Structure 1
Amino acid sequence: MGCVSGKTVKTVPETPDGNGHPVTMVYPPVGNRGQKGKVPPPEGQVRTSNKVKKYRDKFDPRVTAKYDIKALIGRGSFSRVVRVEHRLTKQPYAIKMIDRVQGREVFESELSVLRRVKHQYIIQLIEVFETRDKVYMVMELATGGELFDRIIAKGNFTERDATRVLQMVLEGVKYLHGLGITHRDLKPENLLYYHPGHDSKIMITDFGLSATVKGPDNMMRTTCGTPEYIAPEILARKSYTCQVDMWAVGVITYILLSGTMPFDDENRTRLYRLILKAKYSYAGEHWKEISSVAKDFIDKLLVLDPIERLTSSQSLKHPWILSMAAGSSNKNLHRTISQNLLQRQSTRSQANSTKSAKSTRSTKSNKSNKSGKSLRSEHKRVQPEEIDALHRDPEVQADLASMG
């Protein structure tokens, strides 16, 4: 599941308190499903496709009595996410259905966080249904799409636009860190626009790898994350703090301004070595158009020493963010980002075609170039065995020794 517990520090589940979500309700598990107490669907229920019906039939009847299942919008290893509509209010929501056995670690982490938080830039939990084998999390529905899909579709994107996005993300991260919560998987795919309008806010989502740490040292040891966004101290298997989120913000900022990754390699060992050395550059013509103050912001986040790295509060006070890039170039970065996305997608498509007998057709590739999906991590979440192998590599051992 991409998150392996360390030896000395563990994630501490939180219970709702005075600062928690006021409307979250947890329903007790039912005994025998399909027997007494089954709630029939209301009369006049709207007909749905066979695919939607397939997922609706898997839902607990108490859920379908209150919410009309509309469409499948996402899936994970142990979960499914559907778009639903409240039968009385007609308000749309998203429901994440999680296998409570196989997906236990994920839903416990996510619930422990979402029950406590209430912030305008963080996805909101509405209520929870629990059965013997499933957990149903009813949440706000973000309909504006993923961050990079929106940027590509927009057609115009400047440094000022980037600071608007980052300001919202940083406010949300600051709130989380103030509660002792570390997200541990910040990346563009987990930053969604609330609605399609141009004035939509950004929502931080997916708290499956998040941790709430109590104690005087406030340290974590769990190895988890997404390869391109993981902080060097996690790779080095050092105790770490919420500053790992700030490293991820630095990576996201670099991508926002260029359409490229600061650390990018098909080979995971080479990728991790780049991260361990914080080896990135501003090579390329497109970086000449980016202001020095924007680069300074990135440089103060992609710092090996987490103590020297900007905190969320300090980041919000950085001149580039504070001034909303007022003194920066107003050049439209959209073309540059799109071209780099195209180039990266082409490179990845060629690499994938050599690995698989099923070659990617050009029509399919051209279609995917119109979205930000080429910036999604090509790798699955970090696994402990690959970090074991990483630490056995002599060159990596030398890198770690140089880090102290």
Structure 2
Amino acid sequence: MGSGSGKVLPESSKGFCPLRSVAFFRKDEKFDGFKDKKQTFLWSWRRDQRTSEEVKESVRVEESVKNPNGKFRAKFDPRVTARYDIKALIGRGSFSRVVRVEHRCTRQPFAIKLLEVKGREGHNTCQAELGVLRRVNHANVIHLVEVFETAHRVYLVLELATGGELLERVVARGSFRERDATRALMMVANGLCYLHTLGVIHRDLKPENLLYYHPGQDSRLIITDFGLACWDNQSPAKRSDSSCNETKDWALRTLCGTPEYLAPEMVAGRPYNSAVDLWALGVITYILLSGSLPFDHTSRPRLLRAILRGNYSFHGNPWNSVSTQAKSFIDRLLTFNPEDRMTAEEALRHPWLVSTAACSSNKNLHRSISRNLQQRASRASSRRPGSGSAQSSRLAMRSGTRLGSASRLGLGNKSQCSLKVTT
């Protein structure tokens, strides 16, 4: 997904090289004689005078053409490359790169997330993600295989999910009914219930961070990307040392994540807890059943104001074909007051998830969902000059990027929140 930024010099045509000397001729010397006898020697001499820098550059260009992944391999510690064969770059962020690798002995595929820890922010992001991944062990949460650490980089070897993102699977299906949505949401809720029991808040739950482990219909759905995860102050896992508590208190007042999925308490700058993940689950459920967002504005300030008002509707297609229990599930998650919002455990007990056959509509929602995703993709594409066509599910719900600096967002009130720059 990336390429080198250096220019590739055009290859010199045969028999030609830049002029490095000037030949003078006597009046009686024939020019034809020079071409016949001296030309080959002179050009050969010129080629031999190339500087070592030019030789190195030509070798670099040749290697980059033959091995496009060489640039990424060069960044990896020898301990990593001795055990894993680097295959391809599959993702990138502000502090990280994700590559697909293959174990040299077992030939089993994995993903390696390379985290840069040179700056303070990169170090904090790395330690937060690593701390969470070392604690978790659940079928619906990404599994950490092993870790390699150097002075400036950390390599996280993770299980490789090859089944695609949640919305990609929805679009690829010929049909999509409520019972298909409940199967996916049950797995996400199970993963969240486990994380919240440990005291982990994900803080960036969204469809592209929900991946299927393999392409089969029986694949499990995995929660990934813990770069913004933190520990809940109110959880039993809370530690007793004061320094850790101070760090947690800062983390639970930080505005971070993807704007369309932010809970009202985060936008308002109030202290928050794991309930922010359940709000995001409500947004995901709304998207999964309709192909549209409950809060959707091109202007970020207008988007944040809409979230603070908490107004959304079930108008238009396909909501007239969606069951009352499904809408109730969304309402219980998109509740403005976090104290009244369902927990992950309560979500797992909701009638819509528990009794899908009795409570769910059997109507095919695929056409309406795909149409809404495509329409949003077209609008997003028109706002991005020079962007080409892409899969509707990949583009449609990616208009929001993780939050940057407070000045760029227009949030000047420092008492409200501090923003975290991440992938």
Q: Give the match for residue 4 of structure 2.
A: none
Q: Is structure 2 residue 399 aligned with structure 1 residue 378?
A: yes
Higher relative contact order (CA 8 A, sep 6+): 1
Q: Which residue of 2 aligns with 1:170?
A: 189
Deviation at 1:202, TM superposition (A): 0.2
Give the distance between the partners of 2:86 and 2:402, measured in 1 at CA. 30
Are residue 83 (structure 1) and residue 88 (structure 2) matched? no
Contact 1:243–1:311 (CA<8 Å) still a contact in 2? yes
1:43-62 equivalence runs, <5 A:
50-62=67-79
Secondary structure (helix, strand or coil) at the match of 2:89 reads strand
1:58 and 1:244 mapped to 2: Cα distance?
36
Aligned residues: 336
Once residues 171 and 154 of structure 1 are traced to their aligned partners in structure 2, the CA distance between those partners, rounded to angstroms, is 24
- Alpha-carbon distance in 2 for matches of 1:235, 1:225: 10
8 A contact 1:341–1:372 mirrored in 2: yes
Q: Secondary structure at the match of 2:69?
A: helix
Q: What RMSD in Å do the two structures reach over aligned CA positions?
A: 2.1
TM-score with structure 2 setting the length: 0.76
Pairwise CA distance, 1:105: 2.3
- Structure 2 residue identity aligned to 1:91: Q
One-letter amino acid of the counterpart of residue 87, structure 1? R
Change in 2 beyond 3 A, CA 1:311/1:183: same
1:91-129, CA deviations, whole angstroms, 9 ceiling, x for partnerless residues? 110001111124222211110100000000000001000
Alpha-carbon distance in structure 1 between the residues aligned to 2:407 and 2:292: 25
The answer for the alignment partner of 1:138 in structure 2 is 157
Say if 2:282 is the partner of 1:250: yes
Confirm whether residue 194 of structure 1 aligns to residue 218 of structure 2.
no
Map of 1:308 onto structure 2: 340
Q: In the superposition, relative to structure 1, how do residues 387 and 184 fare at CA in structure 2: closer, same or farther (>3 Å)?
A: farther
Q: 1:63 to 1:266 in 2, by over 3 A?
A: same
Q: 1:374 Cα shift?
A: 2.5
Please report how far the alpha carbon of residue 375 of structure 1 lies from its aligned counterpart in structure 2 after TM superposition. Answer: 2.9
Q: What amino acid is the match of 1:153? A: A
Per the TM alignment, residue 173 of structure 1 is displaced from its structure 2 partner at its CA by: 0.2
Q: 1:373 to 1:128 in 2, by over 3 A?
A: same
SS in 2 for 1:223: coil
Checking the alignment, whether the CA contact within 8 Å between 1:121 and 1:168 is kept in structure 2 is yes
In the aligned structure 1, how far is the partner of 2:197 from the partner of 2:314? Answer: 33
Q: What amino acid sits opposite 1:70 in the alignment?
A: K
Matches within 5 A, 1:5-404: 50-102=67-119, 103-214=122-233, 220-353=252-385, 358=386, 360=387, 364-365=388-389, 368=390, 370-383=391-404, 385=406, 389-390=410-411
Structure 2 regions of 5+ residues with no counterpart?
Answer: 1-64, 239-248, 417-423
Contact 1:96 1:137 in 2 (8 A): yes
* Larger of the two Rg values belongs to structure: 2
Q: Supply the AA of the counterpart residue of 1:200.
A: S
Instruction: Provide Cα deviations, 1:125-159, integer angstroms capped at 9, x if missing partner.
Output: 01000111111100000000111111111221110
Distance change in 2, residues 1:383/1:80 (3 Å)? closer
- Range with greater deviation from structure 2 (230-239 or 97-106): 97-106
Residue 113 of structure 1: SS of its match in structure 2?
Answer: helix
1:391 Cα shift?
7.0
1:384 CA displacement: 5.0
* Contact 2:351 2:359 (8 Å CA) reproduced: no
Q: Distance in 2 between matches of 1:162 and 1:391?
A: 40
Is this contact kept in 2: 1:166–1:253, CA < 8 A? Answer: yes
SS of match in other structure, 1:85: strand
**Partner secondary structure for residue 228 of structure 1:** helix
CA deviation profile, 1:263-298 (whole Å, cap 9, x unmatched): 000101100011001111111131100001100000
Cα 1:53–1:348 shift into 2, 3 Å = same
User: Partners of 1:384 and 1:101 in 2: how far apart?
Assistant: 19
Q: For residues 166 and 194 of structure 2, what CA distance do their matches in structure 1 show?
A: 20
The SS at the match of 1:270 is: helix
**Are 1:160 and 1:326, in contact at CA under 8 Å, matched by a contact in 2?**
no
Deviations 1:176-213 (A, max 9, x none): 00001000000001000000111111000000000013
Q: TM-score, normalised by structure 1?
A: 0.79
| Structure-2 separation of matches of 1:374 and 1:64 | 34
Partner Cα distance (1:376, 1:386) in 2: 25
- SS of the aligned residue for 2:115 comes to strand
Instruction: Provide the rounded CA distance (Å) in 1 between the counterparts of 2:267 and 2:337.
Output: 13
Check the 8 A contact 1:118/1:124 in 2, yes or no. yes
In the TM superposition, residue 49 of structure 1 has moved relative to its aligned partner by 5.3
Structure 1 pair 329–385 and aligned structure 2 pair: CA distance change class (3 A): same
- 1:45 paired residue number: none
SS at match of 2:99: strand
Q: What SS does structure 2 have at the residue aligned with 1:108?
A: helix
Percent identity (aligned): 55
Partner letter of residue 187 of structure 1?
Answer: K
Tell me the distance in 2 between the aligned counterparts of 1:349 and 1:284. 23
* Deviation sequence 1:308-340 (CA, Å, 0-9, x none): 000000000000011135332111111111100
Decide whether aligned partners of structure 1 residues 150 and 388 sit closer, same or farther in structure 2, where only a CA change above 3 A counts: closer
**1:128 touches 1:136 (CA, 8 Å); kept in 2?**
yes
In the aligned structure 2, how far is the partner of 1:246 from the partner of 1:386? 28
Bigger CA drift: 270-279 or 218-227? 218-227
Are the equivalent residues in 2 in contact too, given 1:110–1:210 (CA < 8 A)? yes
Distance 1:99 1:246, change over 3 A: same
Query: C-alpha distance in 1, partners of 2:194/2:301?
Result: 34
